[in-house]
Amino acid sequence: MSRPAKASFCDYASPLILMRNILKTILAILARLTLSRFKPRVIGITGSVGKTSAKEAITLALSSKFKVRSSFENYNNELGLPLSAIGEYSGGRSFLSWIFVVIKGFAKLFGANYPQVLVLEMGSDRPGDIEYLLSVAGKLDAAVVTDIGISHLEFFRSPEALAKEKLSIFKGLNREGTVVANFDSPKVREGLKSARTNVLTYGFDQGASLYASDFQILKKDNSFGANFKIHYEGTVVPIFLPNALGLPAAYCALAAAAVGVAFGLNLVDISASLRDFTPPPGRLRLLTGIKQTKILDDTYNSAPSSTLAALETLKAVGGSRLIAALGEMAELGSASEEGHRAVAVKILESGIQAVFLVGDKTKLIADELKKRRFPGQVFWFVDSDSAGIPIQNYLQPADAILIKGSQSMRMEKIVKEIMAEPLKAEQLLVRQTKKWLDKP
């Protein structure tokens, strides 16, 4: 008697893929019905880095005048964006929970409580993602592009193809819509040639519509914050972000100011609103560590441009010793080696005394540091779990340590290991839900 053939992975995966595609279709239809029913003004945000923080800053700035809702958490894909539009969270792995999500979504079509403005993140890991998300979101009142680097390059044939994908968000604007773009990003600036509508640019370059000057990190009332001025059409307004650090925070504030101006707000009101801006967990947040140390927690994700900015921020914050704990940067494709070696060059410029590297690709950083005769110490670990205790033992009072890496490296585990108040991890750190904590 012959044995029955063993089921392959595809036999199990196919029904799951089918169910996901059905769910994707249902959510898209429901989102389109919701947006057609309530007709909110819609803002789309894309870019290689800074989308979530820009979303939070834009939401905060507009909330002084409008009823605003933004994408939940990092809901920026084919399931997350429709969920944000209908105002529901993911059903996770529970089929029954998803049924309730859909039922509640349809029930809300008959309600009246819907925001005037919807701020939606739009992620793109593969060609065509932006086009699909625009097909769900409909015509945009503003399209924001934060930056275009080399992150998420894995499924694109070249950096130019990635840039083309991100910039395709301009096609989703309505006739009166406004492009809000980072003038300091070369690929974004180049892409503005394809923008056929109102354009507001932002950055530190004085050629931008709104530009920042006099940036510095100040310590006020025993806490650090970003301080700078925003210039727009002859008006100059000071900005202080008491809970934010580094240039990334300034770029978020500039994006928010540009969107606010496009929506009829004045800079003084925008400045006042942004004083309450706090970057989401894992985005350049300063935490207190054990032994009276300072932790610069930037563990949400990582890309070359954001890592260079984080290293610059560590230098500005200062400490008796500067230490960097860096996980590998994923999804860089053919640009992976270039990106990791660029980080090594920045480490040499930042006055760092010790580097803790996590993950196989960070060996490129170690190699470059060795070639350039880095005078400090370099330690390498296979994963974040094995790095936590050695880092804890290495720290001395008044040290400052940057912890950063791609999501897959789970560098927040190191932060939890060395933070002064680990019982506040759920409140202060990224990826503290049961779903993430249960992952190895």
Given a cut of 90, is residue 76 above it in pLDDT?
Answer: yes
Give the pLDDT band of residue 79 (cuts 50, 70, 90): very high
Question: 151 — phi, psi (to 5°)?
Answer: -75, 155
Name the segment(s) of the chain with CATH classification 3.40.1190.10: 13-274
Question: 216 — phi, psi (to 5°)?
Answer: -160, 155
Given a cut of 60, is residue 234 above it in pLDDT?
Answer: yes
341-397 tens-digit pLDDT: 999 999 999 999 999 999 999 999 999 999 999 999 999 999 999 999 999 999 999
User: How many other CB atoms are there within 10 angstroms of residue 155's CB atom?
Assistant: 15
144 near 255, Cβ under 8 Å?
yes
CATH fold of the domain at 13-274? UDP-N-acetylmuramoyl-L-alanine:D-glutamate ligase (3.40.1190)
46 near 122, Cβ under 8 Å?
yes
pLDDT at 265: 97
Q: For residues 35-62, give the mean pLDDT.
A: 96
Token pair belonging to 144: 């924001």
For the chain, percent of residues with pLDDT exceeding 70: 97
Given a cut of 90, is residue 310 above it in pLDDT?
Answer: yes
Name the segment(s) of the chain with CATH classification 3.90.190.20: 285-437
- How far apart CA 210 and CA 250 sit, in angstroms, is 12
pLDDT at 152: 66
Give the pLDDT band of residue 147 (cuts 50, 70, 90): very high
Which DSSP string corresponds to 167-211? HGGGGGEEEEEEEEEETTSHHHHHHGGG--SEEEEEESSTTSSEE
- How far apart CA 105 and CA 120 sit, in angstroms, is 17
For the chain, percent of residues with pLDDT exceeding 90: 81
192-231 tens-digit pLDDT: 987 777 999 999 999 999 999 999 988 877 778 999 999 9
30 near 102, Cβ under 8 Å?
yes
Given a cut of 70, is residue 7 above it in pLDDT?
Answer: no
100-143 tens-digit pLDDT: 999 999 999 999 899 999 999 999 989 999 999 999 999 999 99
Alpha-helical (H) ranges within 294-361 are 304-317, 336-349
pLDDT at 4: 47
pLDDT averaged over every residue in the chain: 93
Given a cut of 80, is residue 150 above it in pLDDT?
Answer: no
pTM of the full structure: 0.88
Q: For residues 32-61, give the mean pLDDT.
A: 96
Give the pLDDT band of residue 297 (cuts 50, 70, 90): very high
- The CATH number of the structural domain formed by 285-437 is 3.90.190.20
